[in-house]
């Protein structure tokens, strides 16, 4: 059996890479004004909406729902002129992730519209809540955004922060859990 798995392993990987790249090609064709790295993984691509001039860099995962466990629902929408850096994960399963224009997203950011309900872990129940991120938001490296969070326009989220509650517009938050550090001085009022 081990010999069989070793012999088919490279073939299986090749098939998976071709399937993933086929999805990326379809998304590139649909959203011609965007730049999408070949390594981007998109699940349920019909539920993905990209604005103009969106850049998706290396090794990003966009899970747009469409599975039984999330009631076959969910979507991800990313606004114009947004850049998502390497290793970002957006989990739009069972609810929607809506991102505004000019989103500046550093490497390793994780955004979740669903989570397991720890009160019913044996029943595998989930909580689904939309995540809404306004225009001109900056998320520095390794930020985690939880289901149901709304982030206002022009907000800044410090590196390694865990965002559990809404973030008002024009503020800088940081920490775990993220808390307001100061008001943001806007360069373009």
pLDDT one-digit tens code per residue, 78-118: 999 999 999 999 999 999 999 999 999 999 999 999 998 88
Nearest C-alpha neighbor of 145 from the set 137, 57, 52? 137
Burial of residue 146 (CB within 10 Å: 0-12, 13-18, 19+) is buried
Mean pLDDT of the chain: 88
The b-or-e profile of 14-45 (16+ CB within 10 A means b, else e) is eeeeeebeebbeebbeebeebebeebbebbbe
Whether 13 has a pLDDT exceeding 50, the answer reads: no
pLDDT in tens, 45-75: 999 999 999 999 999 999 998 888 888 899 9
CA distance 164 to 175: 11
Q: Is the pLDDT of residue 38 over 50?
A: yes
Amino acid 119: pLDDT:
83
């Amino acid at each position: 059996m081990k010999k069989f798995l070793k012999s088919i392993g490279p073939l299986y990987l090749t098939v998976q890479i071709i399937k993933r790249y086929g999805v990326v090609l379809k998304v590139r064709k649909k959203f011609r004004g965007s730049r999408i790295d070949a390594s981007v993984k998109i699940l349920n691509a019909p539920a993905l909406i990209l604005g103009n001039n969106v850049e998706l860099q290396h090794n990003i995962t966009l899970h747009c729902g469409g599975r039984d466990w999330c009631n076959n629902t969910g979507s991800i929408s990313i606004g114009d002129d947004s850049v998502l850096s390497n290793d970002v994960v957006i989990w739009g399963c069972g609810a929607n992730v809506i991102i505004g224009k000019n989103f500046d997203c550093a490497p390793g950011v994780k955004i979740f519209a669903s989570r397991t309900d720890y009160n019913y872990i044996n029943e595998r129940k989930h909580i689904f809540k939309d995540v809404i991120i306004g225009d001109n938001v900056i998320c520095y490296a390794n930020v985690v955004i939880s289901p149901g969070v709304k982030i206002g326009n022009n907000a800044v989220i410090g590196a390694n922060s865990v965002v559990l509650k809404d973030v008002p517009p024009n503020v800088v938050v940081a920490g775990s859990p993220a808390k307001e550090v100061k008001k943001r001085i806007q360069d373009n009022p």
